[in-house]
Amino acid sequence: MAYSSGYTLAHWCLLVVLVLPLVCTYIAKAKGLGRSAADGGFDNRDPRAWLARQGGYQARANAAQANSLEVLPFFVAALFVAWQQGAAQAWVNGLALAFVLLRLAYIACYLADRASLRSAVWGLGWLVNLGLFFSGCLSAA
- Does 37 map to a domain? yes
- Does 2 map to a domain? no
Phi, psi of 33 (to 5 degrees): -75, 145
- Does 1 map to a domain? no
- Does 4 map to a domain? no
Rounded distance, CA 15 to CA 20, Å? 9
Domain range enclosing 116: 9-140
Any idea what the CATH number is for the domain that residue 31 is in?
Answer: 1.20.120.550
Q: Number of structural domains, the chain?
A: 1
- Say if residue 115's pLDDT is above 90: yes
| pLDDT band at residue 127 using 50, 70 and 90 as cut-offs | very high
- Does 127 map to a domain? yes
The secondary structure of 72-119 as a DSSP string is HHHHHHHHHHHHHTT--HHHHHHHHHHHHHHHHHHHHHHHTT-HHHHH
Query: Do 17 and 72 touch, CB atoms closer than 8 A?
Result: yes
Which value, to the nearest 10 degrees, does the dihedral of the CA atoms of residues 126, 128, 134, 137 take? 160
For residue range 64-104, list pLDDT tens digits in order.
999 999 999 999 999 999 999 999 999 999 999 999 999 99
**Which of 9, 29, 111, 25 lies closest to 68, judged by CA?**
25
Mean pLDDT across the chain? 92
- Does 59 map to a domain? yes
